[in-house]
Chains A and B, each alone.
Chain A
Amino acid sequence: MIDISGTSSSSMIIIGHRGASGYLPEHTLPAKALAYGQGVDYLEQDVVLSKDNVPIVIHDIYLDEISNVASKYPARHRSDGRYYAIDFTLTEIKTLRASERFDHRTGKPIYPNRFPLNQSTFHLVTFEEELEFIVGLNKANIDNNREVGIYVEIKEPSFHKNESRSNFSEIVIDILRKYNYTKRTDKVFLQCFDLEELQRIRVQLKSDLKLVGLLSDEKHRSIYKKNDFSYWISEIGIEDMATFVDGIGPHYSDLYEQGTTLEPSKLFNDARKHNLFIHPYTFRSDANLQPFATFDAMLEFYIDKLKVDGLFTDHPDKVVRYIESKHKQSNTGIKLQSSSLALIILSIAVIIL
């Protein structure tokens, strides 16, 4: 929740997607610091295991699109030509220079107007470092009444299981416990695209953490072959999911029906019916915004019309500014109306007299 002095116009949470990744290289500490300063409620971490089983904050299971691994360790790729984080120790990963995301085939940046490649110096961090970073920041901000929460994604449990790390989730949950993040009342969410893994976390591992079922969009469904998405997004699937998750993290385009008027989708309605909170991803002001004309129009639809419970964004400052401008409009309007009315009456009285 944004603490605008007085009432806030929405009780929606803003999640810094990989930090303020619209402005600084994703998942670096400066990107997280920037997001914290821009006013997020939660900072997001994706975690993947290193060779020595240390959870690293990185979005891909590969290192070659966000670091200089290919030039620093040229021979260490697999037969598919990719460099896997799980093939590198923490010490090796710490020698890498992290950067803005680029295409590993061409070397060109994915978002050309963001932070340029090869400028300044950034590093990859461990999940534990990021937890200490956030906990430390919250401690330093007690006087400012500011507490930013953790929003962690366990990446590709099946991949990790195939690499003989079937206790990946346990490792992450243990680290969270070390920093006192264990209950649903704590400021933490645990998210995953693998619904069966979330079920295991809830039922077998008996975790009380808030769990978020991530739902991939049309384009990416083929990557997650094992999960039967048509099941999970069906009405029965949502009902099933609601027994072990607390909310869903869908792609934003799955929340409206395709057509000329943007009506809430069946998925949206089913989630609401089962009291699941909805945190769509990802709101990027520099991406294709269709069918919305502007970023603000997009935000208006999700924040004010659908009233989602939270959203993931690369540009937290823009979301904050949108919400504040809506709040200010209602405030200034009232002030202006009453004081100018009073003055008009006064002036007319002066003339008459």
Chain B
Amino acid sequence: MLSFLLVLFAFELCHGSQRPLVIGHRGTAYLPELTLASQSMAHAYGADIIEIDVCLSRDNHLIVIHDINLDGVTNVADVFKNRSRSDGFHYVIDFDLHELRSLNVHERVRPLNGTQVFPLRFPSKSNVHFHLSTLNETIELLLNLNRATGRQRQLLIEIKKPEYHSKYNKSISSIVVATLKSYNLTQSTDPIILQTFHIEELMNIRKNLSSQLRLFALMTWNYVGESSSDYDFYRSEQGIRNLSKVVQGLAPDHQFVVNYDGNGTIISTSNFTKWAHQYGLSVYPYTFRKDLFLGSSFEQLVEYFWHEAQVDGFITDNPDVILELLQRGQISASSYTIVLNIFLSMFTFLFHIIRI
């Protein structure tokens, strides 16, 4: 009886102190994505991990940008009028670093008509001069912010479209791994995680580049055409088992983790997380954006993924909101824990007295 109580005591202590990881997607929702200001804000809000994307410039610099073209987030069309391709877009890989540095970055717009993709966010027509940064600048920001604040946040680097970059005879992954190495970031214990949608590229990074850094596998629907990988296979039990030999975590489209009905209501949890956990993998679905939800439905969504689906973390544009939700739940859990612990200790003490 006593040992049972002690085990219960210990279990309560451990459970009360765990919470899902919060990953600040491109920094936060409140500033133009991926800018150093947006990353700084995510750091301030306490995001455990800050997520960024990298693409290559013509002169092989790693540019922190989500798209392979510049038209969604910069004024490239105004600055370089004759440098678009036949589809009307301006591609990062067609520009050198010094040219990219001359651009102004803004909140995301639809290139065809200039309308803001997320209308409630930072105004895209604002006159504030944000800039594109390099992976080096981002690493320097993070490591030194960690040191100055005493808070250790991690960097999750998505390598964009490795197959596309290969067509230009560029191995983007090699350049990423080499850049990280120059900052002494090579181990699984370093605050760096790499991820990409191209599953075979993850295997290349692990086996051919011999990297020991932690890896996450991004997953989406095959029809999107993100890469040549077969996600129908990789999200099956066997696929997950395969992945578990190479990666440490999975970053799936949230629709793989739960089943939605036609109205967007969650009906049930899929087997995805169960299989992932079975094979020792963590699950971090994307992307939790508060401005796509009305009222308290965002909170309900987060609660479901946390308590029912039991994911290991959230990739979110609103790390502050999710952290606040988790902490509010946590606070009632921890005072409950304190009270329970007092009760248990009293009970064991009294039990002892009675037995003696």
Contacts and interface: CB of A to CB of B under 8 A. Distances in A.
Interface stretch (A28-36, A76-84, A208-216, A248-256): A28-36
Contacts, number: 128
A37 B339 contact: no
A111 to B, nearest CB: 10
Contacts of B121: 140
Contacts of B42: 37
Interface in B22-53: 28-31, 35-45
A87 interface: no
A336 interface: yes
B91 interface: no
A116 B142 CA distance: 12
A37 B36 contact: no
Interface residues of A, number: 50
Interface in A101-118: 113-116
A20 B40 CA distance: 10
A147 to B, nearest CB: 13
Contacts of B31: 33, 137, 140
The A interface, classified by DSSP as helix, strand, loop or mixed, is: helix
Interface stretch (A119-127, A164-172, A227-235): A119-127
B130 interface: yes
Given A123-B129, A128-B127, A32 B37 contact: yes
B142 to A, nearest CB: 9
A135 to B, nearest CB: 8
A74 to B, nearest CB: 21
Interface stretch (B4-12, B206-214, B277-285, B343-351): B343-351
B30 A129 contact: no
Nearest to A5: B328
Contact of B149 (A23, A116, A123, A136): A23
B145 A343 contact: no
Contacts of B165: none
A37 B347 contact: no
A144 interface: yes
Given A35-B44, A137-B30, A351-B354, 12 more contacts: A33-B31, A33-B40, A36-B41, A119-B141, A120-B133, A120-B140, A132-B128, A136-B122, A140-B121, A143-B120, A347-B343, A347-B347
Interface of B: 28-31, 35-45, 120-123, 126-131, 133, 137-138, 140-141, 144-145, 148-149, 290-291, 320-321, 328, 335, 338-339, 342-343, 346-347, 350, 354
